[in-house]
Amino acid sequence: MRRKIVGSSWKTHIYSIYEGKKLAKEISESVKDVDDVDMFLLPTFPMIPLISTTLANTNVSWGAQNISFAEKGAYTGEVPPQVLRELGCKYIEIGHAERRTYFNETNMTINKKVKLALNHGMIPIVCTGETAEDKEQNIGKIRLTTELMWMLDGLDEEDMRKVIIAYEPIWAIGQTEAADENYVEDIHVFLRNRVEKEYGKEIAENITIIYGGSVDPENAVKLMSKDNIDGLFVGRFGLKAENFRKIVDAARGKVE
Ligand code: PEP
C-alpha cells in the first residue's frame, strides 16, 4: 500500500525569509493532527535553515528545489548535497520544467543530481512532463519515456525504492486548471508500467508517482480519487495554509 504524499514548492513565490517562516508555521499548525499523509515544503535555499527550525518536531518535512550536479569543487553558485543533508533536507526536487527551460538543465545533469541526492540519503523527486506540442502531436509518452530512462539511468532496485516520480505536464503548470484526472491516471499507469519493464512488478507497484500542475483544493479531490495518483505536488495554491490543508484532506479522502 503506497502512502499518500502532498508537498509544495514555493519556487520564488515566497521571496522573504520572514514570510517563509510565517507560512511554514501556519501550514504546520494547520496540519498538525494529520498522521496518514506525508507532507513537505520546499523553500528557496537561504530559507532552509530558518524553516528547518520552524518545522523541526512537526509532521511536515522540508527539502530543496534543486541540488548541485557535483559533490564539491569549483562550481560557483551551486549548493552541494552534503550541505542540504546537514540542513535536514529530506526531499530534493530535481528536473522541474522551469529548471530545464531557464537554466538549461539536461537529462544527463538531472541524472547526476538524482544519484547525488540518493548517495546523501535524500529522496529525489524526479520531474517529467510533456509539452503542449508533444501532446498535440501525440508524442507525449515518447518524451516521458526518454526523460524517465535518462533520469533514472544507472539506479539499482534499492535506489528505486526511494525515488518519487512527479508527473508535471508542462502545459498544465501555472494555468487556471489542472490536467484532467483521467488523463493523469492514464499517464501514471503508463509510467508505472515503464518502471515495471525496467525494475519489475514489485518496485513498480510500490513506487510513488505524484501529479503537479495547477493543483487546487477542488481539483485535488478529483485527482486523488484515482488509484495511481499517489499524491500532489502543489505550486501557487499551496501558498496559503488553508488551501494546503484542504489539499492534504483530499489526499486523505476526507472531504466534506
Ligand atoms: C509546479 O510547477 O510544479 C506547480 C505545481 O506549479 P503550479 O501549481 O503553480 O502550476
List the domain range (segments joined by +) for residue 61: 5-252
pLDDT value of position 156: 97
Dmax of the chain from CA atoms? 54
Q: Which parts of the chain have pLDDT scores under 50?
A: none
Phi, psi of 98 (to 5 degrees): -70, -35
- Whether 96 is a known active-site residue: answer yes
Domain count, the chain: 1
- Ligand 1 site residues (CB inside 6 A) read 9, 168, 173-174, 212-215, 233-237
Query: What atom in ligand 1 is closest to the CA of residue 238?
Result: 8
Q: SS3 string of the chain?
A: CCCEEEEEECCCCCCCHHHHHHHHHHHHHHCCCCCCEEEEEECCHHHHHHHHHHHCCCCEEEEECCCCCCCCCCCCCCCCHHHHHHCCCCEEEECCHHHHHHCCCCHHHHHHHHHHHHHCCCEEEEEECCCHHHHHCCCHHHHHHHHHHHHCCCCCHHHHCCCEEEECCHHHCCCCCCCCHHHHHHHHHHHHHHHHHHHCHHHHHHCEEEEECCCCHHHHHHHCCCCCCCEEEECHHHCCHHHHHHHHHHHHCCCC
For ligand 1, the distance from its centroid to the CA atom of residue 9, given in whole angstroms, is 8
Quote the CA–CA distance of 4 and 221 in Å, as a whole number.
13
pLDDT value of position 107: 96
What CATH number did the domain enclosing 53 receive? 3.20.20.70
96, 98, 105, 188: the catalytic one is 96
Ligand 1: residue of 214, 229, 243 to mutate (most ligand atoms within 8 A of CB) is: 214
105, 147, 168, 185: the catalytic one is 168
For ligand 1, the distance from its centroid to the CA atom of residue 98, given in whole angstroms, is 10
**The three three-digit cell numbers of residue 132, written as one number:** 503542449
pLDDT value of position 256: 66
To the question of pTM greater than 0.85 for the whole model, the response is yes
- Whether 13 is a known active-site residue: answer no
Quote the CA–CA distance of 65 and 224 in Å, as a whole number.
24
For ligand 1, the distance from its centroid to the CA atom of residue 237, given in whole angstroms, is 8
pLDDT value of position 1: 82
Query: What atom in ligand 1 is closest to the CA of residue 216?
Result: 8
Query: What atom in ligand 1 is closest to the CA of residue 97?
Result: 2
Quote the CA–CA distance of 14 and 20 in Å, as a whole number.
6
For ligand 1, the distance from its centroid to the CA atom of residue 125, given in whole angstroms, is 14
For ligand 1, the distance from its centroid to the CA atom of residue 173, given in whole angstroms, is 5
